[in-house]
Structure 1
Amino acid sequence: MFKIMIVEDDHKIREIMLENIKKWGFDGLYIEDFNEVFNVFLKYEPHLVLMDINLPSFDGFHWCNKIRALSKVPIVFISSRDTNMDIIMAMNMGGDDFVQKPFSIEVLMAKVNAILRRTYSYSNVETDVIEHDGAVLNLKDSNLIYNEKKLELTKNEFKIIYLLMKNSGKVVSRDKIMRSLWEDESFVDDNTLTVNINRLRKKLAGIGLSEFIETKKGQGYIII
């Protein structure tokens, strides 16, 4: 079981984090004595650390530096600070990601899952969401969330966006998409896919994702 350590001064936020970490089947704990961050890290041996920047006694950069002196464990900074200098400093200190407050817990957990998967290659653990640039596709209820806005998808729209997000950065051919929608694409008019894509794009634009799906002429579609 993966262990996640929460270093967050806001009691309400850390409780919500811990609750969702446990919902995902992970083990988690949060720091209560902020003078003992490093000692708790050594004893707990977490697989990932969620680190606020503004903390009592010493800030998150201090603790990240101490952890990085002996461990490459993934560290995700979480902060209300939003200047480029803060983000750059967090990355330069060894952070693996930066999440700005206020944040969506769904997006945070998608990032946590992605980092754990990338770091530890746990192919045997199934995830319930796919995240790309802040867009979170919930595989359980076929909804897509972006900037706190929820988009309800039809069965075909869900299959299309799932295939594209799962292969983000790669061109997915029209034939491959049609095969995922229908068992035998020869019985489907090619325009049917175009209609579905256009309808999906219109819905995405409605929540601020107007250029989420790109067309590669003669090749197919891609999410970059």
Structure 2
Amino acid sequence: MTNPTKILLAEDEPALGQIIKESLETRNFKVTLCENGDIALKNYQLENPELLVLDVMMPKKDGFTLAKEIRNIDDTIPIIFLTAKSQTQDVVEGFTVGGNDYLKKPFSMEELIVRINNLLNRTIEQKHSSVMKIGEYTFNFPKQILQFKNSDGMPLTHREAHLLFHLIKNKNKVLDRSLILNKLWGSDDFFNARSMDVFITKLRKKLKQDPNIEIINVRGFGYKLIC
């Protein structure tokens, strides 16, 4: 049997935290449960987990603040937020601070496990992918670095890197909006669609040094990276 994947779970509701922990441990995950953000940060530094599941509303240090601090240390570890919040700005903030997925309470354990496995599979995909060329840019997908000619490389977030990866793989073709939302965000609902628009805008800014590269919106279908 393979070694269990290490997950750090930060959840301040004891009953819910224990349910999640026990459910994940029956699926060959090793779970460290933390009751607040301060304890979670200390355990992150000690345990070296492979994925984080963070409640947003926690005492001492909320999930968004915790994610920001961890992203200053590690910009590749997958992060899933758990929250009762459903406002668009909260969802967008979750992705902006470095989250890779966003699950609203109440949720089913099966859905959480599917999302965890999807993120872990994408992480494996990232590690085995090579450097890619796009116009005057070099894109190092494993390291999540975008470099224009010989200038300093620009670090990308986990989600930016995966979105750019799929745009390049489908260069000069339409990248189906619903397909990529389900693959990278877990669903194609309104909130995730708004989040994807934010990430497309960020990528456009980072690719603007090469006038021959353009990401266009194909209304009703998706996006196309033209080069």
Residue type at the aligned position of 1:104 = S
CA distance in 1, matches of 2:117, 2:37: 26
The yes-or-no answer on 1:65 pairing with 2:72 is no
CA contact (8 A) 2:41 2:66 kept: yes
Q: Which residue of 1 aligns with 2:95?
A: 91
CA drift at 1:33: 5.4
Aligned residues: 125
Q: How does 1:121-160 map to 2 (within 5 A)?
A: 121=125
CA distance in 2, matches of 1:117, 1:28: 18
CA distance in 2, matches of 1:32, 1:58: 10
Q: Which residue of 2 aligns with 1:9?
A: 12
Residue type at the aligned position of 1:9 = D
CA contact (8 A) 2:12 2:58 kept: yes
SS of corresponding position for 1:81? coil
The yes-or-no answer on 1:75 pairing with 2:79 is yes
Alignment TM-score, normalising by the size of structure 1? 0.53
SS of corresponding position for 2:94? helix
Residue type at the aligned position of 2:61 = F
Task: Flag as ranges the 4+ runs of structure 1 deviating above 6 A.
Answer: none
Q: How does 1:28-43 map to 2 (within 5 A)?
A: 28-32=31-35, 34-43=37-46
Residue type at the aligned position of 1:44 = E
CA drift at 1:37: 2.0
CA distance in 2, matches of 1:53, 1:23: 25
Q: 1:57 to 1:33 in 2, by over 3 A?
A: closer
Q: Can you list the C-alpha shifts for 1:130-162, whole angstroms capped at 9, x where unaligned?
A: xxxxxxxxxxxxxxxxxxxxxxxxxxxxxxxxx
CA contact (8 A) 2:54 2:82 kept: yes
Q: Which residue of 2 aligns with 1:181?
A: none
Q: Which residue of 1 aligns with 2:208?
A: none
Extract unaligned runs of 5+ from structure 1: 123-167, 170-224
Q: Can you list the C-alpha shifts for 1:49-80, whole angstroms capped at 9, x where unaligned?
A: 00011000121111000000011210000000
Aligned-residue Cα RMSD (Å) equals 2.0
Extract unaligned runs of 5+ from structure 2: 127-177, 180-227
CA drift at 1:32: 3.5
SS of corresponding position for 2:38? coil
Q: Percent identity?
A: 28
